[in-house]
Amino acid sequence: MTSFGEAAIGLLAEYGVTTVFGIPGVHTLELYRGLPGSGVRHVTPRHEQGGGFMADGWARVTGRPGVCLVITGPGVTNALTPAGQAHHDSQRMLILSSAVLPQGHARGAIHDLPDQRGLTSAVTAFSRTIREPDELPEALADAWDVFESRRPRPVHIEIPVDVLRRESGSLRRLRPASQPAPPDPAQLRAAADLLSSAANPVVLVGGGAIDAGAEALRVAERLDAPVGVTINARGAVASGHPLCVSSAMCFSPVSELLLDADAMLAVGTEFSELDWWGLEGEVRPPARLVRIDIDPAQFDRFECTPVLGDSAAALAGIAELLGERSELAGRGAERVARALGGLRWPAEIAEHLPLLEALDRALPEDRIVTADSTQPAYAANHAMPAHRPRSWLMPIGFGCLGCALPMAVGAKLAAPERPVATLVGDGGLLFTIQELATACDLGLPIPIVVWNNHGYGEIRDSMDRAGIPPIGTDTTARDLVTIAQGFGCAAVRTSDPAEVEGLVAAALCADRPTLVEVRP
C-alpha cells in the first residue's frame, strides 16, 4: 500500500524538487515514508525557522522554490518569519505542513493551531487545505503558476494527518506551469517612444529583474543611460560595468544622475525606502517614468507609462524598438565615471570599508554572500561589489535577524561549486546559531564573518542619536569562538580587519564551516 504522504513526495519530485528542509514529527511521518528512493534530499535544520531561511537561500540562488516540510502548529509558526521575509522580497517558497483533524480543534489535540490557514494567509499567495488526495495535484499546479507566471510569493499547503495516512495511487503533475502573458506591443511602443525622446534617461533595475540584467544592459547601452541597481537586484548588472552605479544611487553625486534624469525606466522595483535611505525625503522619480512589472498593483504608486509582464521579455521588446543609437555611445559612461569619482561615503559606511575590502579580496567573483542586519552589511549593500546575479543575499526589507547563517547553508547546497560566505553581527548570529551544527554536519566550507560589537550596535547608536539611554542593546555570548568549536566548526578571532582576507581565504578551503570573529 502507498500512503498519500508517500505519493505527495513523489509528486514533488515530478516538479523537479531535489531538496527539502524540515524536522520530522509525529504528524508528518507519512511524508517521511516517501523520502527514501524518491531522489529528494532531506536536510535537517536545528529549528524550523532555520529550515525556512535555508529554503529561502536555496530559492534566491536557484530561482526555484525552496521547500519546507513542517509539522502542525509549532512547525508552522516557526516557519512564519522566513515566509514573511520571502513574501516581502517576492521569493518562491513552498511550505508543506500537516494539520490537526477538524474534530481535534480546541479539544487538547497535540500541536493544535485552530486556524493555520488564517495565520499563514497573510504571508503567502494562498494557503490551502487538502481534504482528499486528488486535490493535491491541482494545489501544486496552482502553486507553480504563482512561482512561474505571477509575482512570486510563498505558498502554504496543509494536509490533515488522517488524509496523509490514506491509501493513494501515484499522483501525476497536471500541467506545465503557466508563463506570463507577453507584453502588450502598444505598451512597449509607448515605453520605447518615451525613452528614445529623453536627453538624460536612466535605468533602475530591481529584484524582480534579477535574471534580466543582460536585457536591461541592452536597453541601457542603446540609450547610453546610467544603470542603478537596488539591493535585491545586486549583481544583475555587474558593479564594474561602465554604465553601472550599482547600489550607490542614494548618495550624492550619484543620486543626481538618477533624480535629475528627464526619464527613467524602472523594472521590477517597488521603490523601497531602504534603497534610498541616504536621500533627504521620499524618493521622487522623474515625471516621465516607464515601469515594467509583473504585478499591476505596482503601477498605482507613481504616475507612469506601464508595461505589464516579465522583465526580460519586456526589456527585450523595448531594446528591439529602440534600435542602435551609436551617436550617444560613451557619454553615459563618462557621466557615471564622474559621479562615482566624486562619491564620498558617509562615515557609517566608510568605517567598514577596510573589512569589506578584505572580504572582497578574499572572495572570488563568482561568490555568494549572505548577510544579516548588521552595520558592516548595511555598508556592504552599497560599497561591496557584486559581479553575478543571485549572489548578494541580504533580505533587508523585512529586517529580521538570524537569516544569514541558514541562508548560507541553503545557498551552498543549491550551488556547491560556488564559494559562499556569511557576514553577520553577533546579535543576529545568536538568533540561529544552532545552525552551525547543521552546516558542520554537512561539511560546508562556509566562512562566517561575525562583526562582534557586543549586542545590537545599530539600535544602540539609534538610541544615542535619539537621546534615549541604551536599554536592552548590550548583550554578549561571552566566547563565540568556543561556542563555534563546540558545534564542530573551526573558529578564529581577530581585531584587525586586514587579517580577515587570509582567514576567509583559508576557510574557503576547509572541510567544515569556519567562524571568523572580528572584534572592533
**What integer is the mean pLDDT of 399-424?**
97
pLDDT at residue 114, as a whole number:
82
Q: What is the pLDDT of residues 289-313, one digit of tens each?
A: 999 999 999 999 899 999 999 999 9
Q: Mark out the alpha helices in 98-210 (DSSP H runs).
A: 116-120, 136-149, 161-165, 185-196
pLDDT at residue 327, as a whole number:
56
- Is the domain spanning 185-341 CATH 3.40.50.1220? The answer is yes
Question: What are the contacts of 466-475 at 24+ separation with CB within 8 A?
Answer: 475/427, 475/430
- CATH 3.40.50.970 spans which residues of the chain? 4-165, 347-518
Alpha carbon 309 to chain centroid distance?
21
How much of the chain, in percent, has pLDDT values that exceed 90? Answer: 85
The Cα 348–Cα 459 span in angstroms is 13
For the chain, the first-to-last Cα distance in angstroms comes to: 61
- CATH 3.40.50.1220 spans which residues of the chain? 185-341
- Is the domain spanning 347-518 CATH 3.40.50.970? The answer is yes
Residue 325: pLDDT band by 50, 70, 90 thresholds?
low
Predicted confidence (pLDDT) at residue 108 exceeds the cutoff of 70 = no
> Global pTM?
0.95
pLDDT at residue 403, as a whole number:
97
Average pLDDT of the chain?
94
Q: What is the pLDDT of residues 335-362, one digit of tens each?
A: 999 999 999 999 999 999 999 999 999 9
For domain 4-165, give the fold.
Answer: Rossmann fold (3.40.50)
The Cα 429–Cα 448 span in angstroms is 9
Residue 331: pLDDT band by 50, 70, 90 thresholds?
confident
Strands (DSSP E) found in 181-297: 201-205, 227-229, 244-246, 263-267, 289-293
Predicted confidence (pLDDT) at residue 326 exceeds the cutoff of 60 = no
Residue 105: pLDDT band by 50, 70, 90 thresholds?
low
**What integer is the mean pLDDT of 375-379?**
95
pLDDT at residue 90, as a whole number:
96
Residue 220: pLDDT band by 50, 70, 90 thresholds?
very high
